[in-house]
Amino acid sequence: MSNLSSTGNQLLESTGIADFFSGLFARQQFASQLLERSFNNPEGWLELGVVAAIMAVTFWLSSYWIKKHPVQESNRWGFARHITQRILWPILMLISAVVALYFWNLNDNNALWLQLLAMASRWMILIRFALAVVHAALPTSKFTDWLERFLSGFLWFAFVLWVSGIDDIIINGMKSLEFPIGSVKLNLFTVVTGLLWVVVLMVFALWLARFIDNRLMSSSRLDLNLRIVLSKVVKTVMLALSVLIALPLVGIDLTVLSVFGGALGVGIGFGLQKVASNYISGFIILGDRSIRPGDRLTVNDFTGYVTKITSRFVVLSNASGSEALIPNETFVTSTVINESYTNASLRQSLNIQVAYNTDLTKALSILEEVAAEQDRVDASPPPKAVITGFGENGIDLSIGFWVKDPENGFVVLFSNIFYSVWKRFNAEGIEFPFPQREVRILNEGLAPENLGVAASVEKNPDESESTTKHQA
């Protein structure tokens, strides 16, 4: 086996492949003379044409493959396919550039554009992989889109500095700027690289936490509140570990965190009490299972369903689409009405009035039958109709029932029940009362018609006498 390995190494050295790859993946700096020679030489123009052809062909191949294999977010391998689609084009360019460079160097030609394409392809793979992780770690929003554009531009700017060699000047200048933090002396380059490592590891931690969160939320074996608690704990631990791992990587002692820890304690003591209280309260309400997603709550005269529980607030949504953001501390320190704490079903009642001459036994039976016919009404306990009072215009009835899925609203259900009651009552001849008034005149002598006749006689006595004489 050792002889085979030594033979392989000798073969690589004799063909120059080892030197080729070691030179390819080492840092390259291009001088202005090499650029000028490339533009003044037919071989340079030919190499530029080869690079353009490689970029065009690989772009077409990657686009064709992406069109044939679209990403499905719900797919288990959706993220892996998303990254593959993002880095497919630069990978094809890198492979093509490496192959073209090998054959180009066999003729002892100086390669410029192919080396530049190989380096740019490697950098593009890094950029697109980083953007894919950022896209997966952070929820889709305008901030995420802006961050992706900024990160892409920053990395390409860093690539230009790296290729041109200007980065050495910038790095040396940053290293010369030193300042003490406690008993530790740091320079600007160490601080910047430390922050970059913290950001990179935090984004990676958020992506990993989101991946674990998706796996937890899709598990049906665990209680929903327990899944949410585990998700929050995993995210917190991941972020803390990312900071603790990133700082030693750049040579920053962890004792520096004691300074920031003291400042954080003072900040919590003065201005961040509510934030810390809401964060801890979130774990309390999830741990004791007093509030769960889907519960119907009434908080400060606002009634809605729990749609989301975050580390700072709970989102309540009502039937009209309005949403209320209730701080977690409110659920620990205030009285909250949870209508679905022990039972997911919710009792509702409808009031109906019938005429006084109605057969009440039949009317109550019809109300119970109509309510029981609805699919959303729970059969146990069954609907119950009762008499609630005697009104001014009719007898007041009420039908009570339990709704199995109150999260779907009540307007349509109430409308269906009212419509069915109206049809059944009309078919059975049961009358719906309407406001009626009966007017009785107690003194008939003061009736308006009698008063009118008397007034006309008293007003024209002469006319009455002349009429009598004429008749005579």
Task: Catalogue all structural domains in the chain, each as residue range(s) with its CATH number.
Answer: 8-164 (no CATH), 285-338 (2.30.30.60), 346-428 (3.30.70.100)
Q: Which of 361, 445, 438, 374 is nearest to 405 (CA)?
A: 374
d(CA 90, CA 121): 5
User: What pLDDT shows up at residue 1?
Assistant: 42
| Stated pTM of the model | 0.48
**Distance from the first to the final alpha carbon of the chain:** 159
Burial 260-272 (b: 16+ CB within 10 A, else e): eeeeeeeeeeeee
232 close to 278: Cβ distance less than 8 angstroms: no
52 close to 138: Cβ distance less than 8 angstroms: no
Q: Which of 444, 424, 443 is nearest to 432 (CA)?
A: 424
**Phi, psi dihedral angles at 236 (to 5 degrees):** -65, -45
User: What pLDDT shows up at residue 256?
Assistant: 61
Please state the separation of Cα 380 from the chain's center in Å: 37
For 168, residues 6+ apart whose C-beta sits below 8 A from its C-beta are: none
Q: In what order do the strands lie in the sheet with 395-403?
A: 346-354, 395-403, 384-390
378 close to 402: Cβ distance less than 8 angstroms: yes
d(CA 140, CA 214): 16
Report the 10 Å Cβ neighbour count for 116.
19
Q: Which of 410, 400, 415 is nearest to 367 (CA)?
A: 400
User: What pLDDT shows up at residue 76?
Assistant: 55
Chunk the chain into consecutive blocks of 10 residues (it has 472) and report each block's average pLDDT, rounded to whole numbers. 44 46 46 59 78 88 81 59 80 86 71 79 82 71 66 76 73 77 71 77 78 72 70 78 73 63 64 74 79 84 84 83 86 83 83 90 92 89 91 90 84 92 91 78 61 50 45 40
User: What pLDDT shows up at residue 445?
Assistant: 57
Paired residues of 185 in beta bridges: 180
d(CA 460, CA 455): 9
Place of tokens 């069954």: 382
Place of tokens 């049906």: 220
